[in-house]
A and B are shown apart, each in its own frame.
Chain A
Amino acid sequence: MLDNNQLLRFTTAGSVDDGKSTLIGRLLYDSKSIFEDQLEAIENTSKKKGHEGVDLALFTDGLRDEREQGITIDVAYRYFTTPKRKFIIADTPGHIQYTRNMVTGASTANVATILIDARHGVIEQTKRHAFIASLLQIPHIIVCVNKMDLVDFSEEVFNNIVSEFEEVSSKMLVKDVRFIPMSALLGDNVVNKSENMPWYQGAPMLHTLETMHISSDINKVDTRFPVQTVIRPQREGFIDYRGYAGRVASGILRKGDDVTVMPSGFTSKVKSINFYDKELEEAYAPMSVSITLEDDIDISRGDMIVRTNNKPEPSQDIEVMLCWLNNSSAKPRAKYTIKHTSNDQKAMIKEVVYKYDISTLERNNEDGDLTMNDIAKVKIRTTKPLMIDPYRENRTTGSIILVDDTTNETVAAGMIV
Chain B
Amino acid sequence: MSKYYLNYLDELESEAIFVLREVWAQFENPVILFSGGKDSILITHLAKKAFYPAKIPFPLMHVDTGHNFPETIQFRDDIIKELGAQLIVGSVQESIDEGRVAEEKGKNATRNALQITTLLDAIEANKIDCAIGGGRRDEEKARAKERFFSHRDDFGQWDPKNQRPELWNIFNGKHFEGEHFRAFPISNWTEMDVWNYIKRENIAIPSLYFAHEREVVWRQDSWIPNSEFLVLEDHEEVVTKKIRFRTLGDITITGGVESDADTLEKIAAEVAGMRNTERGNRSDDKRSESAMEDRKRQGYF
Binding site of B, secondary structure by majority: helix, strand, loop or mixed?
Answer: loop
B100 within 8 A of A: no
B6 within 8 A of A: yes
B125 within 8 A of A: no
With contacts A1-B196, A216-B2 known, is A247 near B18, CB below 8 A?
A: yes
A266 within 8 A of B: no
Partner of B51, one of A231, A301, A342: A231
Partner of A63, one of B166, B196, B293: B293
Partner-binding segment picked from B9-17, B32-40, B258-266: B9-17
The contact string, 1 if C-beta is below 8 Å from chain A, for chain B 165-198, is 1111110101110000000000110101100100
With contacts A76-B145, A235-B55 known, is A403 near B172, CB below 8 A?
A: yes
B277 within 8 A of A: yes
Binding site of A, secondary structure by majority: helix, strand, loop or mixed?
Answer: mixed
Instruction: State how many angstroms separate the Cβ of B132 from the closest Cβ of chain A.
Output: 15
B144 within 8 A of A: yes
Partner-binding segment picked from B63-71, B112-120, B134-142, B231-239: B134-142
Bound state CA distance, A277 and B8, in angstroms?
21
Q: Give the interface size bracket for A toward B.
A: 35 or more
Number of interface residues of B (CB under 8 A): 61
Bound state CA distance, A6 and B12, in angstroms?
10
Partner-binding segment picked from B20-28, B72-80, B208-216: B20-28
Chain B residues closer than 8 Å to A400, beta-carbon distance: 170
A59-95 interface (Cβ within 8 A of B) = 61-65, 67, 73-79, 81, 85-86, 88
**Nearest B residue (CB) for A8:** B8
Q: Which residue numbers of B lie inside 8 Å of A, CB to CB?
A: 1-2, 4-8, 10-15, 17-18, 21-22, 24-25, 48-55, 137-138, 141-142, 144-145, 160-161, 163-170, 172, 174-176, 187-188, 190, 192-193, 196, 274-277, 280, 289-290, 293
Question: Can you report 21 A-B residue pairs in the complex whose CB atoms are below 8 A from each other?
Answer: A6-B7, A7-B6, A45-B289, A62-B141, A62-B144, A63-B161, A79-B188, A215-B1, A215-B2, A220-B2, A231-B53, A233-B55, A247-B17, A277-B52, A286-B6, A325-B165, A337-B174, A339-B172, A396-B169, A401-B170, A409-B164
Q: Which residue numbers of A lie inside 8 Å of B, CB to CB?
A: 1, 3-7, 35-38, 41, 45, 61-65, 67, 73-79, 81, 85-86, 88, 100-101, 103-104, 107-108, 213-216, 220, 228-229, 231-235, 237-238, 241, 243, 245-247, 252, 274-277, 284, 286-288, 301, 325, 337, 339-342, 395-396, 399-401, 403, 405, 408-410, 413
